[in-house]
Amino acid sequence: MRRHRKIKIVATLGPASSTREMIHALFMAGADVFRLNMSHGSHEDVAARHRAIREVEAEVRNPIGILADLQGPKLRVGEFGEGGEVLLEAGQAFRLDLDPAPGDRNRVQLPHREIFDALEPGASLLINDGKVRLKVLSCGADFADCTVTVGGVVSNRKGVNVPDVVLPLAALSEKDRRDLEFVCDLGVDWVALSFVQRPADIEEARRLVRGRAAVLAKIEKPAAVKAFDEILAVSDGIMVARGDLGVELPVQNVPPIQKRLVRKCRAAAKPVIVATQMLESMIESPVPTRAEVSDVATAIYEGADAVMLSAESAAGRYPKEAVATMDAVAREVESDPTYVQIIESSRSAERRTVADGIVAAAREIAETTHVKAIACFSESGTTALLTARERTRVPILALTSRESTARRLCLSWGVDPVVAEPVDRFKMAVVAAIREAVAQDYATPKDRIIVVAGVPFNTPGSTNILRVAPCEERLIFEGEPE
C-alpha cells in the first residue's frame, strides 16, 4: 500500500488497540510498524497481538514490521509504612539502604546493591521521573546518605534514575532474556533493547538473537549518549527515547542531542526512531497541541526514519486519530519546499565503496531527470538502506525475496518494501522492477525508473550496477539483451 510520505510511523499496541479490527484501522490510518511493549501484558497477550498483525498483513497484502520492546532492568525504591508514601522536603537528610523494613520520612530500601557499588559522593539520584531529587553525601556498600535537593512525594515502588554513573547492571534482566527468546521464536522483525549503557550490551543481545531479528538500541541514558558512536556501530537501528533522557539530563540538552544522534544514524545508513510523548495530549483529546505538532514536525525536518506513538495508540481514547494526525503532519511537512532544502543540505555520508557510489549516482540521476522511482534488489536490505540514506526525492522500491527483509525495511525512510520472486539475471530484475513500479502507480509505461542491483545476485554487499530503464510495455514482456 503506497504511503504518500517518506517518514514511517510506529504505533504501540495495548488495551486500546489489540483487536484485529483496530490494528487494521491503525494500518489504514498510516501505521507502518507495530510496537509490542514487553513491559505490559503476558506472553499470551503478545502472541495474540502478533497473530492479529500477521492476519492484517495477509489481508492488506503489504509487509508490516513488528518491533518488540524489551523492558530492561527496573530500578525502584522499596515500600513505605502506613499510607505507602512520604513527603520529602528540600534540605532534609534521607537515607537509601538495603534494609527491607518499611520506609519512613528518614529512609527507605533501595534493593539494588549494584547501585551502591557504583555511587560516589556528589552523585544525583532521581525518584519518580525526577520529580524528587537527592544528592549523595556519603555512601558505602549498603547505604547512601543523601540530602534532598528537590522535595516532593515518594510512594511505594517508585522508579529511580542514576544519571551520573555507569551502573554495573546488564541491559538484559532475566525477564528480558525470557521475553527475547519468546519474541524471536514468535517471529518479530526488530528487538529494542532498553537500558543500554555500552556497546557490550548490544553485542550480548545480538548473540542471543542469533540473526532472528534486527537489534535496535534505545538511547535513554547519558552513558549511552557518551558512547553513542560505539553503540551505533554494533546496532541495526536506534531509538532516541527522549522520556528517560529528559529525566536524567537537563531538558534543554535533549533537543540538540536528538538532532545530533539523528544525523549520525543517517550518515551510517541505520534507521532511527524519535520516540516518547510526541502527541501525548491525544491520550485524552481528539486533537493535539500545537507544540506537539511542532515537535513531530521537527523530527521529520531532521530526517528521522520514523516517529513513534506510545500510550497515544496503546491506551489512549483516540488511537486511530493519533496515527492519522501523525500521518497528516508528515505529509504536510514533506510537501514544504523548505523540507527538501533542509534534508538535502544535511547529507553527510562518507562514500568509500562501489555501493556508496552507485546509490549516490542513482539519487543524482533521479534529481536531475524525470525518473519516477528507484528500484533496489536487496536480499539483506543493505542496498535499500544505502539508498534511503541518500534521502532521494523519488520513492524507493525495495524488492526482495525474503519476507523478513521486507518487514525490517518497513522502518526505513522512504522505502516501500516488496516481496518479489527471486531473480538470477539483471534482465529479470529490470522486468520485475518495472512491473512493480507500474502496478503500484509509481510510474506509467511511458516513464522511466532506475534499477539498482548487485551482480552476482543473492550476494550481500555486491551492489555494483545501475540502469535507467524505460517502462515500455515491450520491455515487460520481451525484456532486453543482457
Q: List phi, psi (to 5°) of 397.
A: -95, 120
- Rounded Cα distance between 20 and 34, Å, is 12
Can you give the pLDDT at residue 244? 87
User: How sure is the predictor about 476, in pLDDT bands with cuts at 50, 70 and 90?
Assistant: low
Among residues 5, 22, 30, 16, the alpha carbon closest in space to that of 56 is found at 22
Residues 6 or more apart from 441 whose CB is under 8 A from it?
2
pLDDT in tens, 353-383: 899 999 999 999 998 998 999 999 988 999 9
Give the CATH class of 8-72+171-336: alpha beta
- Mean pLDDT throughout 398-420? 96
Question: pTM of the entire structure?
Answer: 0.94
C-alpha dist (Å) from residue 479 to 374, 421, 427, 428, 468: 19, 16, 6, 8, 14
C-alpha dist (Å) from residue 300 to 46, 65, 273, 338: 30, 20, 10, 12
pLDDT in tens, 2-52: 899 999 999 999 999 999 999 999 999 999 999 999 999 999 999 999 999
Output DSSP code: residue 412.
Answer: S
Pairing of strands 374-377, 448-454: parallel
- ω into 456 cis (within 30 of 0): yes
pLDDT in tens, 274-303: 999 999 999 999 999 999 999 999 999 999
Quote the cell numbers at residue 239. Answer: 531509538
Can you give the pLDDT at residue 455? 80
Q: What is the dihedral of CA 289, 290, 296, 298, to 10 degrees?
A: -150
Q: Do the Cβ atoms of 427 and 435 come closer than 8 Å?
A: no
- Rounded Cα distance between 277 and 252, Å, is 16
One DSSP character per residue, 238-295 reads EEEEHHHHHHHS-GGGHHHHHHHHHHHHHHTT--EEEESSSSGGGGT-SS--HHHHHH
Amino acid at 336: D
Can you give the pLDDT at residue 236? 98
Domain extent listing, the chain: 8-72+171-336, 85-161, 354-478
Architecture of domain 85-161: Beta Barrel (2.40)
pLDDT in tens, 59-85: 999 999 999 999 999 899 999 998 999
Quote the cell numbers at residue 98. Answer: 538495603
- Mean pLDDT throughout 106-120? 95
Quote the cell numbers at residue 200. Answer: 557490550
With residue 84 as reference, give the H or E element that holds it.
none
Residues 6 or more apart from 34 whose CB is under 8 A from it?
10, 11, 12, 13, 23, 26, 49, 53, 64, 65, 66, 67
Within 65-176, strands assigned E span 65-69, 85-88, 93-97, 107-109, 124-127, 132-139, 143-150, 152-155, 160-161
Pairing of strands 448-454, 463-470: antiparallel
CATH 3.40.1380.20 for the 354-478 domain, yes or no: yes
Quote the cell numbers at residue 338. Answer: 523548505
Active-site residue numbers?
A: 35, 76, 218, 276
